[in-house]
Structure 1
Amino acid sequence: MLLKNMLPQFGIEPERLKMEWIPASEAPQFQPTVNGFINKVTGLGPLTLNKKATKETG
C-alpha cells in the first residue's frame, strides 16, 4: 500500500496504519479487529516523530 510505504519518510512506523475491509454481514468481526489494532498501537508506545523527517518535509 502506497501510504504505508510513505510513512517512514515522516518518521511514523508503518505498523501504525491498518486498513481492513469488513463487510456489514461480518459485523461481529469489527470489534475484535479494532481491539487488536488498538492493542498493537498501544504496544508501540507514543508516537515520536523523527525530527529529521519532519524538517525535510516542512
Structure 2
Amino acid sequence: IPIVGDKTYGDFSMNRKIIKTTQVERLCLHASAISFRIKQRKILFESNLPSEFETLLSLP
C-alpha cells in the first residue's frame, strides 16, 4: 500500500484528490514515538500527530 502523498510510488490520482480536498501536500508518514538504547539507557522521543493528519483521518 503506498503512503498518501508519496510523489514517487504513490497513487497519483488519489493524491490529487486529497490535495484538492484538504490542501495537504506532504508525505503522510509520521512516527509518534521512537526510542534508542544507548549504554543501558533508553532514550525516547514522542511527537503528537500533525494537525493536518487529523483532517486526513476524518475523510470518508
The alignment's TM-score, normalised by the length of structure 1, stands at 0.32
The structure that is strand-richer by fraction is 2
For the pair shown, the structure with the greater C-alpha radius of gyration is: 2
Q: Which has the higher contact order (CA 8 A, sep 6+)?
A: 1
Task: Please give the TM-score of this superposition, normalised by the length of structure 2.
Answer: 0.32
